[in-house]
Structures are given as structure tokens and as C-alpha cells.
Structure 1
Amino acid sequence: MTAHAPIIRLDCKSQSYDWGKLGKDSKVAELAAASPEFAAKENTPYAELWMGTHPNGPSKVFDTDTPLKTILNATNLTEKLHQEYSGDLPFLFKVLSIRKALSIQAHPDKKLAGDLHARFPDIYKDPNHKPEMAIALTPFEAFINFRPLKEIKANLTQFPEFRDLIGDAVSKQFEVQVDKAGESTDAKDLAANKDVLKLLFKTLMESDEKALHEQLDKLITRIQADGLNTKGGLFELVYRLNEQFPKDVGVFCAFLLNHVKLSPGESIFLAANEPHAYLSGDCVECMAASDNVIRSGLTPKFKDVDTLVKCLTYNYGPADAQILHGDPYKGLKNTTLYDPPIQEFSILRTRLEKEQETVEGIAGPSVLIVTEGNGKIEYSNTGTKTVLDAKAGYVFFISAGVAVTLTGLGDGPFTSYRAFCT
């Protein structure tokens, strides 16, 4: 297999961040072990596996020092994408293994990203937006968007420490608006609802540090005294977040943000200016090729609370509405399409037993990773058929327009995820 073949196996870089799962418990480490040079260390956190051309972790042609970007051209990317993205892939594809929560965060839209990059280039490294999609590989937890307003109102009553931190005046203002128009779809009511939700969130994020610590101590003491930390639900979640990030304002975000639990194959899409945080589990993730993150809690990193409060959309609604299940792809039995409302990427998931499925050529480039099982990947080039081994952890770049046949060998599920752009 040469560097100019239509399908090229890649060597991909793992990233070690504090929140990653340790050693062989990490799905990232398990998949990275497909590279002969990788050996997992027991107490090292393996958080992310990067697949793409991002300069902070560029992929290489397997068993060489040749960067993927150097072999990309107007043929295997398409001339349009090659020009539009300056010879890079339009997306960054990842696997994540999460042991403890990532920060409460949002990603700026393109206009805000350009402004932040111009003013604070050391913090916001590029002028691009960063929409993301995550698909669960194992049971997976996340915060995403704001809860229904009635749930937040109920939490102000059920958790007096939350109410005391916010203060009675803001709490009552929020409750009055929710009672008046919390379920209205009228444009004026929606705007008023978002205004009072913004006030509540801003008040929490800007709360006095001493008051924050006092109320969080009261809450954790009450949870422990009543044995609620072992009962699941919000009490357990709050207790766990405080253990991971003691006395952090992000712990109280559990009362404001939807807590979603995904089963393997379920997904969430994270649009610009929407609050979210991954909490635990393993997933594949795809994003626009940007590094812009606006953080506000559950992190020792720089917190840009003012920017976050100003940029959020303050959309709210039930958790179930945030979970996506994908759609059948072009009548194929075993392939599911996850298609977010952006141009940079979509994702295919193919899951086979002892069977075969052919995916016709996609108009743009793609990157495929095998996440479990053993199989084969087959393609034709100028009349010659090529069959490659495709085992867990193998990653392939697939040129635009190349039809691919995947075959499961029947010794268990053979599952792959494929990010692509057209």
C-alpha cells in the first residue's frame, strides 16, 4: 500500500490529559495499541486519539514519518475542499475516554471566534467555529443545553443551597416568569424566558467565592449525612462532581443543565454557543478543525465567564430531545448516518457480524476507524481489487469517490465509524 493508494492506513496520535481513563482501562489506549510503537502505561491517562491534520496532533501514513497532509491533494480531497481548507481535512475526528468531567464550556460561532482570535490570540488560537458531535461507544454521560424551565424552578426548591447561592430576589424573578410563560411558544415570551434564564446563570457564574464554598459545603454535608451520594440521580451527580472539582461553581450547573445518558450508538450534537460538558464514558467525536473553547467551570484552566454568559443562546428543553439516534444510510441494512446541520462533517456507523456491506463512493474525503472486532476493507483501483485487514484500532484515510466494501469475520461485532465531508 503506497502513500498514493485510494485508501491509506494511518498512525494517529494519542493525547494524555488529566481527565482521561488510565492505562488499559482507556478505550483510547486500547485502540492506539494497534500501532506497534504504542504501549500503554498503567497510571497514564489516555484521553483522546486524534485522526486528521490538526497541527497539534497530525496523523501520519502508517509505518512512515509522512504526515497525512503532505499526500492530500485536489484529487483525494476534491478540488473544492482542497482550496477551501488549504489542503487540510475540514474536520478533526477523535476517540475520547473520560474518567472525570470535562469543563463546562461552549464553542463560539464563526463571527465570535474571529473576534476572540483577533483580541486574544494566545487564548483563542484560530478564527474558526467548532461544532461537535459525539457518538457513545460505551455508556456515556454529558451535560447539554439548559433544562426545561420548570425543572430548574423545582431545583431551586429541592436544593435550598442552590437557591441561597442565587439569592431570593433573582430566584423569585425566575419563578414568576416560569409560572407566567414557562411553556409558552410566543416569541415575546420565549425572549423573556431566555432573559431570566440568562440572569439566573449569570448570577450563579458570578457568585461570591466565599458564599459558593459555604453553600456547596452545606449541600455536600447534607448529601453525606442522608446517604444520598449512593442513591443515584442529582444528589449522586453533584457529590461526584464535587469530589472531582472541589468547591467549583460548575458543580451547581447540574441544577441548570440537562444530564443525558447515552447508550452505545446514541449521539449528541453540540452547536455553537450551547453549554455542554462530557462527564464520563467513551465516545467517537468529530468537530470542525478548531481549538476554540470558552470555559466557565469544572476546570483548573482559564475561565472566561463574561464571554460565556454573553454568547450563549439560552435555548432550553427536555433531555430526550437532545439525544440523536441516526438514520438509515441509502437503504443499507447495517450503516447509520449521523448528519448534523453543518458543512464540515457527517459520520457513518457500520456494524457487521459475519456479513458484508458496500458503501458507494462518497463525494469527499473520509477517515474510518475500527472500534471493535476484526474484518476486511476492500476497494478497487483501475480494475485491481485490494483487500486490507481492518482490526480494532486501525484507522484509514479514504479518498473522495472510492467505494468501500466492509466484511465482518464473524468472531464478534465488527464496528467502524467514518467521518466524511462532501
Structure 2
Amino acid sequence: MSQIIVPLKCTSQNYEWGKFGTNSTVAQLLKGYAKECSNIIDDNKTYAELWMGSHPSAPSKVVCNNSQNQQEEINLNDYIEREQKLNHSSCIRGEIVEKRFGKDFPFLFKVLSIRTALSIQAHPDSQLAQVLFKKFPNIYKDPYHKPEIAVATTPFEALCGFRPLNEIQNFIETIPELNRSLPNLNKLDDCKEYLKSIVTILLKADSELIKNNLHHLKERLSKLDNPSDLDRLVLKLYSQYPGDVGVFFAYILNYLILKPGQAMFLAAGEPHAYISGDCIECMAPSDNVVRAGLTPKLKDVDTLAEMLTYSTGKPGLVDPITNPSISSENYLSYVPPVDEFQVDYYHLTSKCPKLKANLSKGPSIALVLSGKVSFENQSKPQSNLSDLHTGSVLFIPSNTELQFSQNDSNIPVSIFIATVNNKIFNKNNL
């Protein structure tokens, strides 16, 4: 029983910044996999995130039979515990995974559909996360760090990491409204201290000063005959969050537009904000966020100012790794510099209707983003799943050999699989 693939029932989060109704990839996925959802997608409701994993805020469920042979839904982690006890082994998570991460599921897998900008934020490292959780458990609700990767599935706008120092200085000198919002800013030789000073002054500035300066900025940019992409970004952020100091961060952080298939990695202490678009996201199983702007929520200015890395330049884009034996059009692997996760992508077409999945020694979660497909479980053939389609989400135990087969040659298949980073299974890391 240990290598049986099971479907998951997953939860959507309906945050205000999400896309409405079936404009949202999240809603499209819900409609695709759950017949009971197909008639209740509300075009007046936002669908922001689909959570896949065992985070207590929205754990995925497995439908199975209880001891009375009645169907019930149980949380993914409870299902894993039950099956491992029945098998008297740690074979579902994998021994190395349990040794490294304990009995917590090692990652959280998501789909995001973004209509308006998320807050400018950063995530704590492991040490700070434990401190914040202990001091403020009502705000920081778990003791884990939150490195994350975002893989764009549509054109995807984001702010990420500090711009090169000369760019920031140029904006301070040439954008009068920004300059007036930074009274008493001294030029410092130390880059980190200079950036920290900018962030601290902005975030602690008088709210009326910021509000007035942003209003003047909006009025000035609105009159431009040929606004730049950055001008349009500032105006868009202002329209969504008028008077919010976070609008000024468009001049301080790198502005990116990812193409579908491009990815970025966000380490601890890196400031960022997702602005618009849809993406696949994977992260350590945490919900710890320290916010700076573009939000009505708590802004923990002192914590944020102390925790940022203040590194400048090009942000951490993740170049996918291709498998030499498979066309790069059909297989990509996004491997970030953390132990908890990596994300693999498989694409089936009439020219490549079958693919064998990489064998993972840890647990995995698969999402059928589009198409009709069969999962052939070569470890347990009796548990093949032959009628999967857009929105299907599955839990895959460790050491499960899989092959994917396209069910309809006219419909390409896209599958994303999140799994534990393969590097932890290297003999040198045992």
C-alpha cells in the first residue's frame, strides 16, 4: 500500500488581491477537478491561491475508508501517519526526509492568481522565525523560514531585490517627490547602511508627508505624453494603494516581467512584491511574512529594517535544468539553493505523448495544470490513475516510479510536480 498515489482535495484562499471568477487560474483548476465546484465558481468572488500540502491553515485532504469501511476525509499528514503505521515503516515520506525534516511535510505547493499587488514583504530566516514565533505567536504563526520559488505561467510582474545603488541614487536625485520623502538622508559610504537608512526613513516618515508627495507624483506622471513602463507601474500601484509608502519602492526595488516558464527564487531577507499574473509557487511550509507597504495589514518596520539583506543588483532568477534525454520543451526542473523543495515540469504533446517522471526519494505533490492524462504507477500498477484532467492534484509517496501518458492527442498536457530537493539524497549529505 505504501506507493499508492492518491488524489487530494485542496483549498482555495479568496484574498482580496486575487483574480475574479474564471479569470483566475485557481478558479479554473477548482472547476476542473471538483465537479461540485463547477457550478459554483462566482465571477464576483476572488480566487487568489490554491494550497497543496499540509499547512494547518489549509491542509489538503485525502478521501479514504475508515475502520468501519466508511468514507472520510483526513488531512494529508494524518493520512501519511496512518499509512506508515500500517506499513510499520517511514517509506511514504522516506527515511532521509524524516531524518532531515521530522514528521512535518517539507514544503507547501501553491498556485497564485494575482489581480492587484501583494504587499512589499520579506521572509525571516530560520533563526529569526523562531524568535518571532516565540515573541509574537499571534502575528508570526510558525517557527519556520520561508524561502520560495515562483514559476510564471502567464506574464508575471514583480518587484524583487534592491536596484543597483547608482539607479537608486539617481531616482532620489531626479524624482522630487521621492527626494522630499527622504528628509535628513545622509550619503553613507557603506551601501548596506545607506539602503537601510532609506528604507527606515521612508517607512517611518509622517504619513501625511508621504500621502501628499505621492499625490503630487501621481498628478505629474498622469500628465506625461509618453510615460515609461516604470511610470505606468507607479501609477498602477498608486491606483491600488493611494497614499501608501510602498508605491515609492518601485524606485528602490528591481522591476521584473517574467515570461511563462521563467522563475525567481526568494531567499530570506529579500524584499519583494508580486504585482500581477499567475504562477506556480513552492516554499518551505511557513506563512511568515514581514510587511513594509502596499497593504492595510501590520507593517513591522523595525523587524523588516533589521532583517533585509540589502544586496543590490539582478535578483535571483532560477534557470531551469533540462534533462539531456528529453527535449527541453517537454521537461524542465527548477532547483533552488534550499533543501526543502524543487519543482519539475512535464509537457506532453502528440510528438511526445509519454514521459517517465524522475524518481524522487521523497514525497511529491503533482498538479495537472492542463490537459487529460494517465498516471501509470510502475511501482504499483494496480493503482494506475487513467482519467486525470485539468485541476487534478495527487500525492505521490517516496520512491514511486511514474510514467505519464497523454489521453487526447489534440490537447497538450502540462504537469508541475513539487518534491524534496534531490540534493539531500546525495551520499555526501547523509
Instruction: Give TM-score, length-normalised by structure 1.
Output: 0.90
Evaluate the alpha carbon distance shift between residue 221 and residue 377 of structure 1 in structure 2; reply closer, same or farther with a 3 A threshold.
same
Q: Where does residue 69 of structure 1 map in the other structure?
A: 77
Question: Residue 29 of structure 1: SS of its match in structure 2?
Answer: helix
Q: 1:280 is matched with which residue: 276, 282, 297?
A: 276
Partner of 1:185: none
Aligned-partner Cα distance in 1 for 2:155–2:411: 19
**Alignment CA distance shift 1:383-1:291 (3 Å):** closer
> Residue in 1 aligned with 2:87?
none
Q: Report the AA paired with residue 412 of structure 1.
A: I
Please report how far the alpha carbon of residue 413 of structure 1 lies from its aligned counterpart in structure 2 after TM superposition.
2.4
What is the CA–CA distance in structure 1 between the aligned matches of 2:319 and 2:198, rounded to whole Å?
32
Give the alignment of 1:372-411 within 5 angstroms.
Answer: 372-382=370-380, 384=382, 386-408=384-406, 409-411=408-410
Taking a change above 3 Å as real, the CA distance of residues 385 and 30 of structure 1, as seen in their structure-2 partners, is closer
**Aligned pairs for 1:100-111 within 5 A:** 100-111=116-127
1:151 paired to 2:167: yes
1:246 aligned counterpart, secondary structure: coil
1:291 partnered with 2:287: yes
Is the counterpart of residue 315 in structure 1 residue 302 in structure 2? no
Question: How far off is 1:386 after superposition?
Answer: 2.3
State how far apart, in whole Å, the 2-side matches of 1:402 and 1:382 are: 8
| Distance in 1, Cα, partners of 2:62 & 2:365 | 12
Residue in 1 that maps onto 2:6: 8
Aligned match for 1:325, one of 310, 315, 319: 319
Q: Output the amino acid matched with 1:371.
A: L
1:135·1:283 contact (CA, 8 Å) conserved in 2? yes
Q: Distance in 2 between matches of 1:322 and 1:86?
A: 29
Does 1:129 find its partner at 2:145? yes
Structure 2 residue identity aligned to 1:416:
I
Deviation at 1:41, TM superposition (A): 0.7
**Cα offset for 1:195?**
1.6
> Please, which moves more after superposition, 235-244 or 204-213?
204-213
Displacement of 1:37 in angstroms is: 2.1
1:5, CA displacement in angstroms?
5.2
Contact 1:21–1:46 at 8 Å: present in 2 too?
yes
Alpha-carbon deviation of 1:218? 0.7
1:219 aligns with 2:217: yes
In 2: Cα distance, 1:62 partner to 1:132 partner: 29
Find the aligned partners of 2:283 and 2:169 in 1 and give their Cα distance.
33
Provide the secondary structure at the position in 1 that maps to 2:249: helix
Please give the alpha-carbon distance, in whole angstroms, between the structure 2 residues aligned to 1:381 and 1:137.
31
CA gap of 1:360–1:145, structure 2 versus 1, over 3 A, is closer
Q: 1:68 is matched by which residue type in structure 2?
A: L
Partners of 1:112 and 1:29 lie apart in 2 by 35
**Corresponding residue for residue 55 of structure 2:** 54
Give the C-alpha shift of residue 330 in structure 1: 6.2
Separation in 1, partners of 2:251, 2:23? 30
Q: How does 1:340-351 map to 2 (within 5 A)?
A: 340-351=336-347
Letter of the structure 2 residue corresponding to residue 58 of structure 1: P
Q: Structure 2: how far apart are the matches of 1:287 and 1:20?
A: 19
**1:366-398 CA deviation, whole Å, 9 max, x = no partner?**
001011222221112356572422211101111
1:268 to 244, 264, 267: 264
2:378 aligns to what SS in structure 1?
strand
**Deviation of the 1:4 alpha carbon:** 5.7
Q: Does 1:416 align with 2:415?
A: yes
Partner of 1:19: 17
- Say whether the 8 Å CA contact 2:378–2:403 is kept in structure 1: no
For residue 318 of structure 2, what is the amino acid of its counterpart?
L
- Relative to structure 1, the CA distance from residue 259 to residue 386 in structure 2 (aligned partners, 3 Å threshold; closer, same or farther) is same
Q: 1:207 to 1:363 in 2, by over 3 A?
A: same
Question: In 2, Cα distance between the equivalents of 1:289 and 1:380?
Answer: 29
Aligned residues of 2:349 and 2:412 also touching (Cα < 8 A)? yes
The answer (yes or no) to whether the contact 1:262–1:323 under 8 Å persists in 2 is no
Query: CA separation in 1, counterparts of 2:287 and 2:385?
Result: 36
Q: Is the deviation greater in 46-55 or in 205-214? A: 205-214
Closer, same or farther in 2 for the Cα pair 1:55/1:330, shift >3 Å? farther
Whole-Å separation in 1 of the counterparts to 2:311 and 2:3: 46
Equivalent residue of 1:166, what SS? coil
CA RMSD in angstroms, aligned pairs only: 1.8
Superposed displacement of residue 159, structure 1? 1.4
* TM-score, normalised by the number of residues in structure 2: 0.88
- Give, in whole Å, the separation in 1 of the partners of 2:282 and 2:127: 21
Give the drift of 1:360. Answer: 3.6
Moved more, 77-86 or 217-226: 77-86
Letter in 2 for 1:401: N
8 A contact 1:371–1:392 mirrored in 2? yes
Which secondary structure does the structure 1 equivalent of 2:197 belong to?
Answer: helix
Shift of 1:234: 1.2
- Aligned AA for 2:418? A
Give secondary structure in 2 for the equivalent of 1:41: coil
What amino acid is the match of 1:363? K
Q: How many residue pairs were aligned? A: 398
Cα distance in structure 2, aligned partners of 1:119 and 1:67:
29
* Aligned residues of 1:114 and 1:127 also touching (Cα < 8 A): yes
How far the C-alpha of 1:83 sits from its partner, in A, is 5.3
Task: Spell out, residue by residue over 1:312-371, the C-alpha distance to the aligned partner (whole angstroms, 9 max, x if none).
Answer: 0100003xx533231114643221111111111011011121221102421111001011
Q: Please tell me whether the aligned partners of residues 266 and 316 of structure 2 are also in contact (alpha carbons under 8 angstroms).
A: no
* Kept in 2: contact 1:265–1:325 (CA 8 A): no
